[in-house]
Structure 1
Protein backbone atom coordinates (compact mmCIF):
# COMPACT_ATOMS: atom_id res chain seq x y z
CA UNK A 1 0.00 0.00 0.00
CA UNK A 2 1.33 3.41 -0.96
CA UNK A 3 1.09 6.06 1.74
CA UNK A 4 1.35 9.80 1.25
CA UNK A 5 2.21 11.86 4.36
CA UNK A 6 2.30 15.65 4.34
CA UNK A 7 2.27 15.69 0.53
CA UNK A 8 1.07 18.71 -1.42
CA UNK A 9 -1.11 17.23 -4.19
CA UNK A 10 -2.66 20.54 -5.21
CA UNK A 11 -3.68 20.29 -8.84
CA UNK A 12 -2.86 16.57 -9.04
CA UNK A 13 -4.76 14.52 -11.59
CA UNK A 14 -5.49 10.81 -11.14
CA UNK A 15 -6.56 9.21 -14.41
CA UNK A 16 -7.73 5.60 -14.78
CA UNK A 17 -6.50 4.87 -11.24
CA UNK A 18 -7.92 2.33 -8.80
CA UNK A 19 -8.37 4.14 -5.48
CA UNK A 20 -10.42 1.40 -3.81
CA UNK A 21 -10.08 1.38 0.00
CA UNK A 22 -8.13 4.65 -0.07
CA UNK A 23 -8.20 6.61 3.17
CA UNK A 24 -7.79 10.37 3.38
CA UNK A 25 -7.22 11.55 6.92
CA UNK A 26 -6.80 15.17 7.96
CA UNK A 27 -6.79 16.27 4.34
CA UNK A 28 -7.74 19.60 2.82
CA UNK A 29 -9.96 19.13 -0.24
CA UNK A 30 -11.37 22.28 -1.77
CA UNK A 31 -12.75 22.67 -5.29
CA UNK A 32 -12.03 18.98 -5.93
CA UNK A 33 -13.80 16.89 -8.57
CA UNK A 34 -14.41 13.14 -8.50
CA UNK A 35 -15.74 11.45 -11.61
CA UNK A 36 -15.94 7.67 -11.88
CA UNK A 37 -17.36 4.49 -10.41
CA UNK A 38 -17.72 5.47 -6.74
CA UNK A 39 -19.44 3.31 -4.13
CA UNK A 40 -19.63 3.55 -0.33
CA UNK A 41 -17.92 6.92 -0.12
CA UNK A 42 -17.73 8.15 3.48
CA UNK A 43 -17.10 11.85 4.05
CA UNK A 44 -16.58 12.93 7.66
CA UNK A 45 -18.43 9.84 8.89
CA UNK A 46 -21.34 10.16 6.46
CA UNK A 47 -21.88 7.67 3.62
CA UNK A 48 -22.78 10.10 0.85
CA UNK A 49 -23.38 7.98 -2.24
CA UNK A 50 -27.08 7.44 -1.54
CA UNK A 51 -27.52 11.23 -1.61
CA UNK A 52 -25.44 11.53 -4.77
CA UNK A 53 -27.35 8.78 -6.58
CA UNK A 54 -30.72 10.23 -5.56
CA UNK A 55 -29.71 13.66 -6.83
CA UNK A 56 -28.47 12.21 -10.12
CA UNK A 57 -31.79 10.40 -10.56
CA UNK A 58 -33.63 13.66 -9.87
CA UNK A 59 -31.57 15.53 -12.44
CA UNK A 60 -31.60 12.71 -14.99
CA UNK A 61 -34.81 10.60 -14.74
CA UNK A 62 -33.62 8.53 -17.70
CA UNK A 63 -31.33 6.75 -15.23
CA UNK A 64 -34.41 5.12 -13.69
CA UNK A 65 -35.48 3.83 -17.10
CA UNK A 66 -31.98 2.51 -17.79
CA UNK A 67 -32.14 0.41 -14.61
CA UNK A 68 -35.58 -1.03 -15.41
CA UNK A 69 -36.18 -4.64 -16.47
CA UNK A 70 -39.25 -3.72 -18.50
CA UNK A 71 -38.89 -3.56 -22.30
CA UNK A 72 -41.15 -0.51 -22.56
CA UNK A 73 -38.94 1.42 -20.13
CA UNK A 74 -35.80 0.38 -21.98
CA UNK A 75 -37.30 1.50 -25.28
CA UNK A 76 -38.12 4.88 -23.76
CA UNK A 77 -34.63 5.13 -22.28
CA UNK A 78 -33.10 4.52 -25.70
CA UNK A 79 -35.39 7.12 -27.31
CA UNK A 80 -34.38 9.74 -24.75
CA UNK A 81 -30.69 8.94 -25.10
CA UNK A 82 -30.91 9.27 -28.89
CA UNK A 83 -32.77 12.58 -28.57
CA UNK A 84 -30.09 13.89 -26.21
CA UNK A 85 -27.35 13.03 -28.69
CA UNK A 86 -29.33 14.59 -31.55
CA UNK A 87 -29.59 17.88 -29.66
CA UNK A 88 -25.90 17.79 -28.79
CA UNK A 89 -25.02 17.15 -32.43
CA UNK A 90 -27.00 20.20 -33.48
CA UNK A 91 -25.27 22.19 -30.77
CA UNK A 92 -21.75 21.28 -31.91
CA UNK A 93 -22.64 22.13 -35.52
CA UNK A 94 -23.47 25.66 -34.36
CA UNK A 95 -20.12 26.05 -32.59
CA UNK A 96 -16.85 27.21 -34.22
CA UNK A 97 -15.50 24.97 -36.97
CA UNK A 98 -13.90 21.69 -35.87
CA UNK A 99 -15.23 21.96 -32.31
CA UNK A 100 -16.25 18.31 -32.64
CA UNK A 101 -12.57 17.38 -32.95
CA UNK A 102 -11.35 19.36 -29.92
CA UNK A 103 -10.76 17.56 -26.63
CA UNK A 104 -10.66 19.33 -23.27
CA UNK A 105 -8.28 18.59 -20.37
CA UNK A 106 -6.95 15.48 -22.07
CA UNK A 107 -10.42 13.99 -22.64
CA UNK A 108 -11.80 12.64 -25.90
CA UNK A 109 -13.31 15.01 -28.43
CA UNK A 110 -16.96 14.57 -29.39
CA UNK A 111 -16.01 12.58 -32.49
CA UNK A 112 -13.74 10.32 -30.45
CA UNK A 113 -16.50 9.84 -27.88
CA UNK A 114 -18.95 8.81 -30.60
CA UNK A 115 -16.34 6.47 -32.07
CA UNK A 116 -16.01 4.84 -28.65
CA UNK A 117 -19.78 4.33 -28.52
CA UNK A 118 -19.57 2.64 -31.93
CA UNK A 119 -17.11 0.25 -30.31
CA UNK A 120 -19.39 -0.19 -27.27
CA UNK A 121 -22.26 -1.14 -29.58
CA UNK A 122 -20.14 -3.67 -31.46
CA UNK A 123 -18.76 -5.24 -28.31
CA UNK A 124 -21.65 -5.16 -25.81
CA UNK A 125 -24.68 -5.28 -28.13
CA UNK A 126 -23.69 -7.10 -31.32
CA UNK A 127 -21.35 -9.57 -29.63
CA UNK A 128 -22.87 -9.99 -26.16
CA UNK A 129 -26.59 -9.47 -26.84
CA UNK A 130 -26.81 -10.83 -30.40
CA UNK A 131 -23.88 -13.25 -30.27
CA UNK A 132 -22.37 -11.96 -33.53
CA UNK A 133 -18.70 -12.79 -34.16
CA UNK A 134 -17.95 -10.28 -36.94
CA UNK A 135 -14.93 -7.93 -36.54
CA UNK A 136 -15.47 -4.53 -34.99
CA UNK A 137 -16.36 -1.48 -37.11
CA UNK A 138 -13.04 -0.06 -38.36
CA UNK A 139 -13.61 3.51 -37.12
CA UNK A 140 -14.58 2.39 -33.63
CA UNK A 141 -12.37 3.49 -30.74
CA UNK A 142 -11.58 0.99 -28.02
CA UNK A 143 -8.91 0.40 -25.35
CA UNK A 144 -5.33 0.49 -26.59
CA UNK A 145 -4.90 -3.25 -26.13
CA UNK A 146 -7.79 -3.81 -28.55
CA UNK A 147 -6.76 -1.10 -31.02
CA UNK A 148 -3.38 -2.80 -31.38
CA UNK A 149 -4.92 -6.10 -32.55
CA UNK A 150 -5.29 -5.94 -36.33
CA UNK A 151 -7.38 -9.11 -36.37
CA UNK A 152 -10.18 -7.32 -34.50
CA UNK A 153 -10.80 -5.01 -37.47
CA UNK A 154 -10.24 -1.65 -35.76
CA UNK A 155 -8.18 0.97 -37.60
CA UNK A 156 -5.87 2.93 -35.24
CA UNK A 157 -5.15 5.43 -38.03
CA UNK A 158 -8.81 6.26 -38.68
CA UNK A 159 -9.67 9.97 -38.59
CA UNK A 160 -13.35 10.02 -39.57
CA UNK A 161 -15.49 13.13 -39.83
CA UNK A 162 -18.49 13.73 -37.61
CA UNK A 163 -20.86 12.82 -40.43
CA UNK A 164 -19.03 9.56 -41.11
CA UNK A 165 -19.35 8.50 -37.49
CA UNK A 166 -22.98 9.60 -37.32
CA UNK A 167 -23.82 7.48 -40.36
CA UNK A 168 -22.57 4.40 -38.50
CA UNK A 169 -24.42 5.47 -35.37
CA UNK A 170 -27.70 5.69 -37.31
CA UNK A 171 -27.30 2.11 -38.51
CA UNK A 172 -26.45 0.90 -35.03
CA UNK A 173 -29.35 2.79 -33.47
CA UNK A 174 -31.78 1.20 -35.90
CA UNK A 175 -30.40 -2.22 -34.98
CA UNK A 176 -31.08 -1.65 -31.28
CA UNK A 177 -34.52 -0.15 -31.94
CA UNK A 178 -35.62 -3.16 -33.99
CA UNK A 179 -34.40 -5.50 -31.28
CA UNK A 180 -36.02 -3.54 -28.44
CA UNK A 181 -39.33 -3.47 -30.31
CA UNK A 182 -39.65 -7.25 -29.96
CA UNK A 183 -37.66 -8.26 -26.89
CA UNK A 184 -39.50 -9.79 -23.91
CA UNK A 185 -38.68 -9.82 -20.18
CA UNK A 186 -37.85 -13.52 -20.44
CA UNK A 187 -35.35 -12.87 -23.23
CA UNK A 188 -33.75 -10.08 -21.20
CA UNK A 189 -33.25 -12.48 -18.28
CA UNK A 190 -31.49 -15.13 -20.37
CA UNK A 191 -27.75 -15.70 -20.30
CA UNK A 192 -25.98 -13.50 -22.84
CA UNK A 193 -24.80 -15.45 -25.93
CA UNK A 194 -21.23 -14.16 -25.66
CA UNK A 195 -19.04 -15.69 -28.39
CA UNK A 196 -16.40 -18.09 -27.11
CA UNK A 197 -13.32 -16.26 -28.39
CA UNK A 198 -10.73 -13.83 -27.08
CA UNK A 199 -12.24 -10.61 -28.35
CA UNK A 200 -13.46 -7.75 -26.17
CA UNK A 201 -15.11 -7.66 -23.67
CA UNK A 202 -13.23 -10.30 -21.67
CA UNK A 203 -15.51 -10.12 -18.62
CA UNK A 204 -18.95 -10.49 -20.22
CA UNK A 205 -19.35 -14.25 -19.86
CA UNK A 206 -21.90 -15.18 -17.20
CA UNK A 207 -23.89 -11.96 -17.59
CA UNK A 208 -27.49 -11.77 -18.68
CA UNK A 209 -28.75 -10.14 -21.85
CA UNK A 210 -30.23 -7.39 -19.66
CA UNK A 211 -26.89 -6.68 -18.00
CA UNK A 212 -25.09 -6.41 -21.34
CA UNK A 213 -27.76 -4.10 -22.72
CA UNK A 214 -27.47 -2.08 -19.52
CA UNK A 215 -23.79 -1.51 -20.24
CA UNK A 216 -24.68 -0.06 -23.65
CA UNK A 217 -27.31 2.28 -22.18
CA UNK A 218 -25.12 3.34 -19.27
CA UNK A 219 -22.19 4.08 -21.58
CA UNK A 220 -24.45 6.17 -23.83
CA UNK A 221 -25.68 8.19 -20.85
CA UNK A 222 -22.29 8.61 -19.18
CA UNK A 223 -20.41 9.64 -22.30
CA UNK A 224 -23.11 12.09 -23.30
CA UNK A 225 -22.58 13.72 -19.93
CA UNK A 226 -18.82 13.86 -20.50
CA UNK A 227 -19.35 15.32 -23.97
CA UNK A 228 -21.73 18.07 -22.89
CA UNK A 229 -19.45 18.93 -19.98
CA UNK A 230 -16.53 19.44 -22.36
CA UNK A 231 -18.60 21.36 -24.92
CA UNK A 232 -19.59 23.70 -22.08
CA UNK A 233 -15.90 24.26 -21.35
CA UNK A 234 -15.15 24.87 -25.02
CA UNK A 235 -17.99 27.38 -25.22
CA UNK A 236 -16.75 29.24 -22.17
CA UNK A 237 -13.24 29.34 -23.67
CA UNK A 238 -14.57 30.83 -26.91
CA UNK A 239 -16.64 33.37 -25.00
CA UNK A 240 -13.64 34.45 -22.93
CA UNK A 241 -11.60 34.98 -26.11
CA UNK A 242 -14.36 37.07 -27.67
CA UNK A 243 -14.79 39.28 -24.59
Structure 2
Protein backbone atom coordinates (compact mmCIF):
# COMPACT_ATOMS: atom_id res chain seq x y z
CA UNK A 1 0.00 0.00 0.00
CA UNK A 2 1.16 3.55 -0.81
CA UNK A 3 -0.32 6.98 -0.28
CA UNK A 4 -0.89 7.32 -4.02
CA UNK A 5 -2.36 3.84 -4.52
CA UNK A 6 -4.07 2.65 -1.33
CA UNK A 7 -5.45 -0.85 -0.97
CA UNK A 8 -9.22 -1.12 -0.68
CA UNK A 9 -10.57 -4.02 1.35
CA UNK A 10 -13.92 -5.46 2.34
CA UNK A 11 -16.21 -3.13 0.39
CA UNK A 12 -19.62 -3.97 -1.00
CA UNK A 13 -19.91 -2.07 -4.29
CA UNK A 14 -22.99 -3.90 -5.54
CA UNK A 15 -24.87 -1.80 -8.07
CA UNK A 16 -22.18 0.84 -8.43
CA UNK A 17 -21.74 2.57 -11.78
CA UNK A 18 -18.20 3.80 -12.48
CA UNK A 19 -17.77 6.24 -15.38
CA UNK A 20 -14.84 7.97 -17.03
CA UNK A 21 -12.41 6.36 -14.58
CA UNK A 22 -8.83 5.25 -15.20
CA UNK A 23 -8.08 1.84 -13.65
CA UNK A 24 -4.70 1.17 -15.26
CA UNK A 25 -2.55 -1.41 -13.45
CA UNK A 26 -5.30 -2.14 -10.91
CA UNK A 27 -5.69 -5.56 -9.32
CA UNK A 28 -8.93 -7.10 -8.12
CA UNK A 29 -8.13 -10.00 -5.80
CA UNK A 30 -10.63 -12.34 -4.19
CA UNK A 31 -13.51 -10.33 -5.59
CA UNK A 32 -17.05 -11.43 -6.34
CA UNK A 33 -18.17 -10.10 -9.75
CA UNK A 34 -21.48 -11.40 -11.03
CA UNK A 35 -23.66 -9.83 -13.72
CA UNK A 36 -20.95 -7.23 -14.42
CA UNK A 37 -20.58 -5.11 -17.57
CA UNK A 38 -17.32 -3.55 -18.73
CA UNK A 39 -17.34 -0.98 -21.53
CA UNK A 40 -14.33 1.10 -22.49
CA UNK A 41 -10.74 1.02 -23.66
CA UNK A 42 -9.69 -2.35 -22.25
CA UNK A 43 -6.34 -4.01 -23.01
CA UNK A 44 -4.23 -6.65 -21.27
CA UNK A 45 -7.13 -7.83 -19.14
CA UNK A 46 -6.38 -11.00 -17.19
CA UNK A 47 -9.27 -12.93 -15.63
CA UNK A 48 -8.33 -15.77 -13.29
CA UNK A 49 -4.95 -16.09 -14.93
CA UNK A 50 -6.22 -15.91 -18.53
CA UNK A 51 -5.50 -12.87 -20.73
CA UNK A 52 -8.91 -12.41 -22.38
CA UNK A 53 -8.51 -9.26 -24.49
CA UNK A 54 -7.63 -11.15 -27.67
CA UNK A 55 -10.67 -13.41 -27.27
CA UNK A 56 -12.97 -10.42 -26.82
CA UNK A 57 -11.49 -8.56 -29.80
CA UNK A 58 -11.79 -11.62 -32.03
CA UNK A 59 -15.42 -12.11 -31.05
CA UNK A 60 -16.21 -8.44 -31.72
CA UNK A 61 -14.56 -8.72 -35.14
CA UNK A 62 -16.63 -11.83 -35.87
CA UNK A 63 -19.84 -10.05 -34.94
CA UNK A 64 -18.96 -6.81 -36.72
CA UNK A 65 -16.44 -7.38 -39.56
CA UNK A 66 -16.39 -3.64 -40.26
CA UNK A 67 -14.05 -3.32 -37.26
CA UNK A 68 -11.26 -4.90 -39.33
CA UNK A 69 -11.72 -2.24 -42.02
CA UNK A 70 -11.68 0.51 -39.40
CA UNK A 71 -8.16 -0.46 -38.34
CA UNK A 72 -6.85 -0.35 -41.91
CA UNK A 73 -4.55 2.32 -43.32
CA UNK A 74 -5.89 1.67 -46.83
CA UNK A 75 -8.23 4.34 -48.15
CA UNK A 76 -10.43 1.87 -50.01
CA UNK A 77 -10.97 -0.04 -46.76
CA UNK A 78 -11.86 3.16 -44.92
CA UNK A 79 -14.26 4.22 -47.66
CA UNK A 80 -15.96 0.82 -47.51
CA UNK A 81 -16.13 1.02 -43.73
CA UNK A 82 -17.74 4.46 -43.93
CA UNK A 83 -20.40 3.14 -46.32
CA UNK A 84 -21.14 0.24 -43.97
CA UNK A 85 -21.39 2.56 -40.98
CA UNK A 86 -23.74 4.95 -42.73
CA UNK A 87 -25.92 2.08 -43.94
CA UNK A 88 -26.21 1.00 -40.32
CA UNK A 89 -27.11 4.52 -39.23
CA UNK A 90 -29.76 4.70 -41.96
CA UNK A 91 -31.47 1.64 -40.49
CA UNK A 92 -31.18 3.05 -36.98
CA UNK A 93 -32.53 6.44 -38.08
CA UNK A 94 -35.65 4.81 -39.49
CA UNK A 95 -35.99 2.86 -36.27
CA UNK A 96 -35.79 6.07 -34.26
CA UNK A 97 -38.47 7.71 -36.38
CA UNK A 98 -40.66 4.66 -35.87
CA UNK A 99 -40.10 4.64 -32.10
CA UNK A 100 -40.78 8.37 -31.85
CA UNK A 101 -39.28 11.49 -30.32
CA UNK A 102 -39.68 10.22 -26.77
CA UNK A 103 -37.46 7.21 -27.40
CA UNK A 104 -34.90 9.34 -29.24
CA UNK A 105 -34.63 11.61 -26.19
CA UNK A 106 -34.52 8.82 -23.59
CA UNK A 107 -31.36 8.05 -21.65
CA UNK A 108 -30.92 4.36 -20.82
CA UNK A 109 -28.92 3.56 -17.73
CA UNK A 110 -27.44 7.04 -17.55
CA UNK A 111 -26.00 6.82 -21.08
CA UNK A 112 -26.52 9.41 -23.80
CA UNK A 113 -29.85 9.40 -25.57
CA UNK A 114 -29.88 8.80 -29.32
CA UNK A 115 -30.20 12.56 -29.91
CA UNK A 116 -27.23 13.25 -27.64
CA UNK A 117 -25.24 10.57 -29.42
CA UNK A 118 -25.89 12.19 -32.79
CA UNK A 119 -24.98 15.58 -31.34
CA UNK A 120 -21.68 14.11 -30.17
CA UNK A 121 -20.92 12.79 -33.67
CA UNK A 122 -21.48 16.30 -35.04
CA UNK A 123 -18.84 17.52 -32.60
CA UNK A 124 -16.47 14.68 -33.51
CA UNK A 125 -16.62 15.61 -37.20
CA UNK A 126 -16.06 19.27 -36.39
CA UNK A 127 -13.19 18.69 -33.97
CA UNK A 128 -11.32 15.87 -35.65
CA UNK A 129 -11.84 16.68 -39.32
CA UNK A 130 -13.38 20.03 -40.24
CA UNK A 131 -11.06 21.96 -37.97
CA UNK A 132 -8.02 20.21 -39.39
CA UNK A 133 -8.76 20.40 -43.12
CA UNK A 134 -10.85 23.55 -43.67
CA UNK A 135 -9.32 26.97 -44.13
CA UNK A 136 -10.49 29.74 -41.87
CA UNK A 137 -11.18 29.96 -38.14
CA UNK A 138 -12.02 26.78 -36.28
CA UNK A 139 -15.75 26.66 -35.48
CA UNK A 140 -17.79 23.98 -33.74
CA UNK A 141 -21.50 23.74 -34.42
CA UNK A 142 -23.31 24.89 -31.24
CA UNK A 143 -25.56 21.82 -31.27
CA UNK A 144 -22.53 19.54 -31.06
CA UNK A 145 -21.97 17.76 -27.77
CA UNK A 146 -18.53 17.21 -26.28
CA UNK A 147 -17.44 14.43 -23.95
CA UNK A 148 -18.41 14.58 -20.29
CA UNK A 149 -14.89 15.54 -19.20
CA UNK A 150 -14.99 18.73 -21.31
CA UNK A 151 -16.53 22.14 -20.77
CA UNK A 152 -18.18 22.48 -24.16
CA UNK A 153 -19.26 26.04 -23.50
CA UNK A 154 -15.66 27.16 -23.83
CA UNK A 155 -15.77 25.86 -27.39
CA UNK A 156 -19.06 27.56 -28.26
CA UNK A 157 -21.21 24.48 -27.67
CA UNK A 158 -24.60 24.59 -25.96
CA UNK A 159 -24.77 21.28 -24.07
CA UNK A 160 -28.09 22.17 -22.41
CA UNK A 161 -29.89 23.01 -25.65
CA UNK A 162 -33.08 21.10 -26.37
CA UNK A 163 -32.54 19.55 -29.79
CA UNK A 164 -35.14 17.51 -31.64
CA UNK A 165 -34.34 14.38 -33.60
CA UNK A 166 -35.06 16.15 -36.90
CA UNK A 167 -32.81 19.07 -35.97
CA UNK A 168 -29.81 16.93 -35.10
CA UNK A 169 -30.33 14.67 -38.10
CA UNK A 170 -30.18 17.69 -40.41
CA UNK A 171 -26.87 18.86 -38.96
CA UNK A 172 -25.50 15.34 -38.81
CA UNK A 173 -26.33 14.82 -42.49
CA UNK A 174 -24.16 17.82 -43.35
CA UNK A 175 -21.27 16.35 -41.38
CA UNK A 176 -21.71 12.92 -42.99
CA UNK A 177 -21.57 14.56 -46.40
CA UNK A 178 -18.40 16.40 -45.43
CA UNK A 179 -16.64 13.24 -44.19
CA UNK A 180 -17.71 11.45 -47.37
CA UNK A 181 -16.21 14.18 -49.54
CA UNK A 182 -12.95 14.11 -47.58
CA UNK A 183 -12.70 10.33 -48.03
CA UNK A 184 -13.42 10.58 -51.76
CA UNK A 185 -10.87 13.33 -52.29
CA UNK A 186 -8.09 11.77 -50.19
CA UNK A 187 -5.13 10.14 -51.90
CA UNK A 188 -2.33 7.91 -50.59
CA UNK A 189 -0.14 11.00 -50.49
CA UNK A 190 -2.56 13.36 -48.73
CA UNK A 191 -3.83 10.83 -46.20
CA UNK A 192 -0.40 10.45 -44.66
CA UNK A 193 0.40 14.17 -44.68
CA UNK A 194 0.18 16.30 -41.53
CA UNK A 195 -2.99 18.33 -41.16
CA UNK A 196 -2.97 21.91 -39.95
CA UNK A 197 -2.39 22.32 -36.24
CA UNK A 198 -5.25 23.60 -34.11
CA UNK A 199 -4.82 26.66 -31.91
CA UNK A 200 -4.20 26.35 -28.17
CA UNK A 201 -7.41 25.92 -26.19
CA UNK A 202 -9.15 23.97 -28.94
CA UNK A 203 -10.12 20.32 -28.97
CA UNK A 204 -8.40 18.03 -29.68
CA UNK A 205 -5.24 19.38 -28.12
CA UNK A 206 -2.62 20.47 -30.67
CA UNK A 207 -0.33 17.62 -31.70
CA UNK A 208 2.45 18.23 -34.23
CA UNK A 209 2.54 15.62 -36.97
CA UNK A 210 -1.11 14.56 -36.70
CA UNK A 211 -2.11 13.21 -40.11
CA UNK A 212 -5.34 13.04 -42.04
CA UNK A 213 -5.28 9.27 -41.51
CA UNK A 214 -5.13 9.80 -37.74
CA UNK A 215 -8.18 12.05 -37.93
CA UNK A 216 -10.15 9.67 -40.14
CA UNK A 217 -9.46 6.77 -37.80
CA UNK A 218 -10.88 8.74 -34.88
CA UNK A 219 -13.99 9.84 -36.76
CA UNK A 220 -14.78 6.38 -38.12
CA UNK A 221 -14.13 4.62 -34.82
CA UNK A 222 -16.35 7.11 -32.99
CA UNK A 223 -19.11 6.47 -35.53
CA UNK A 224 -18.85 2.73 -35.00
CA UNK A 225 -18.66 2.85 -31.21
CA UNK A 226 -21.51 5.27 -30.68
CA UNK A 227 -23.76 3.54 -33.18
CA UNK A 228 -23.17 0.31 -31.25
CA UNK A 229 -24.10 2.03 -27.99
CA UNK A 230 -27.20 3.56 -29.57
CA UNK A 231 -28.43 0.23 -30.94
CA UNK A 232 -27.75 -1.46 -27.59
CA UNK A 233 -29.89 1.08 -25.75
CA UNK A 234 -32.71 1.04 -28.30
CA UNK A 235 -32.80 -2.76 -27.94
CA UNK A 236 -33.17 -2.32 -24.19
CA UNK A 237 -35.92 0.24 -24.65
CA UNK A 238 -37.91 -1.96 -27.02
CA UNK A 239 -37.49 -5.05 -24.87
CA UNK A 240 -38.57 -3.24 -21.72
CA UNK A 241 -35.25 -4.07 -20.08
CA UNK A 242 -34.00 -0.49 -19.88
CA UNK A 243 -32.94 0.37 -16.33
TM-score after normalising by structure 2: 0.91
Contact persistence 1:131–1:194 (CA under 8 A): no
Alignment of 1:192 onto 2:189: no
Q: 1:121 to 1:163 in 2, by over 3 A?
A: same
Alignment correspondent of 1:73: 77
The alpha carbon displacement at 1:112 in A equals: 0.4
User: C-alpha offsets along residues 69-127 of structure 1, whole Å, 9 cap, x if unaligned?
Assistant: 11111111111111111101111221254110000111110000000010000000111
The alpha carbon displacement at 1:203 in A equals: 5.5
Alignment correspondent of 1:223: 226
Secondary structure in structure 2 of the residue aligned to 1:94 = helix
1:5-44 to 2 correspondences below 5 Å: 5-44=9-48
Alignment of 1:162 onto 2:162: no
Distance in 1, matches of 2:217 and 2:104, equals 27
Q: 1:125 to 1:232 in 2, by over 3 A?
A: same
Alignment correspondent of 2:151: 146
TM-score after normalising by structure 1: 0.91
Structure 2, unmatched stretches of 5+, are none
Contact persistence 2:101–2:165 (CA under 8 A): no
Distance in 1, matches of 2:123 and 2:11, equals 40
Contact persistence 2:101–2:164 (CA under 8 A): no
Q: Tell me whether 72-81 or 90-99 shows the greater mean CA deviation.
A: 90-99
Q: Tell me whether 188-197 or 95-104 shows the greater mean CA deviation.
A: 188-197
Alignment of 1:110 onto 2:114: yes
Alignment of 1:51 onto 2:55: yes
Alignment of 1:62 onto 2:71: no
The RMSD of aligned alpha carbons is 1.8
User: C-alpha offsets along residues 111-147 of structure 1, whole Å, 9 cap, x if unaligned?
Assistant: 0000001000000011134465332101011135332
Contact persistence 2:128–2:215 (CA under 8 A): yes
Q: How many residues align?
A: 237
Q: Tell me whether 184-193 or 216-225 shows the greater mean CA deviation.
A: 184-193
Alignment of 1:121 onto 2:125: yes
Which of the numbers 166, 170, 174 marks the counterpart of 1:171? 174
Structure 1, unmatched stretches of 5+, are none
The alpha carbon displacement at 1:157 in A equals: 3.6
